[in-house]
């Protein structure tokens, strides 16, 4: 994101939020994790235009380097194999609990997924308090830009009323678009958001 100009950042974030809104029945994320890195300019666009809080990891496993053959494509920058990833995760588990951990992990291969599943028993045994990012915010229950308590039911009802039943893919064809009234509230402070990252 740091290599994109302001317009491209707006487009990437805005269209991503539109897709999430359309497919989730009116929900918008409150948090986002940028691919690779972020700078103050990108963070400001995300916050001031879209109300997104940037969440960055403080530990990186580089597990995306692991291949299905249990080898490493990154050389010394990533774990050599699944066993090395397990050792790295064990070291994270034994770190101080303050300020806490946000570990960047990827679900690309069985080996990278095992990094978490193998560490989970030790995480629980060590007494880590595991929460979703959204649990940090007391207003996280406000999950609809329309401020509707039954946002999914309302969206389904709208879809049912507008569905083109002759289309083989009527759900996608009939997805309601964001009205100008709603679009205006997305960038304002009145947008209520979910904790999807």
Cβ pair 28, 20 in contact under 8 A: yes
Cβ pair 101, 95 in contact under 8 A: yes
Region 56-82 average pLDDT: 91
Quick one: tokens of 132? 């979703």
pTM attached to this predicted model: 0.62
Nearest CA to 62 among 75, 84, 77? Answer: 77
Higher pLDDT, 33 or 156: 33
Q: How far apart are CA 117 and CA 95, in angstroms?
A: 18
Confidence at residue 132, expressed as pLDDT on a 0 to 100 scale:
77
Per residue in 14-53, pLDDT tens? 999 999 999 988 888 888 999 888 999 999 999 999 999 8
The vertex-157 CA angle with 156 and 160, nearest 5°, equals 85
Confidence at residue 29, expressed as pLDDT on a 0 to 100 scale:
87
Q: How far apart are CA 128 and CA 36, in angstroms?
A: 26
């Amino acid at each position: 994101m740091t290599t994109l100009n302001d317009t491209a950042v707006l487009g990437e974030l805005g269209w991503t939020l539109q897709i999430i809104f359309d497919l989730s029945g009116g929900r918008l994320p409150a948090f986002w994790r940028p691919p690779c890195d972020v700078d103050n300019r990108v963070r400001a666009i995300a916050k001031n235009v879209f109300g997104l809080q940037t969440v960055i990891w403080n530990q990186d496993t580089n597990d995306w380097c692991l291949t299905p053959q249990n080898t490493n494509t990154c050389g010394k920058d990533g774990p050599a194999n699944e066993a090395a990833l397990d050792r790295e995760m064990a070291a994270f588990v034994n770190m101080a609990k303050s300020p806490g951990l946000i570990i960047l992990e990827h679900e690309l291969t069985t080996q990278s997924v095992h990094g978490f599943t193998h560490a989970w028993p030790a995480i629980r045994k060590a007494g880590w308090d595991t929460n979703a990012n959204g649990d940090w915010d007391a207003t996280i229950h406000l999950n609809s830009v329309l401020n509707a308590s039954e946002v999914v039911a309302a969206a389904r009802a709208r879809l049912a009323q507008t569905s083109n039943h002759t289309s083989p893919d009527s759900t996608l064809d009939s997805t309601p678009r964001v009205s100008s009234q709603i679009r205006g509230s997305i960038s304002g402070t009145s947008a209520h958001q979910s904790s999807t990252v």
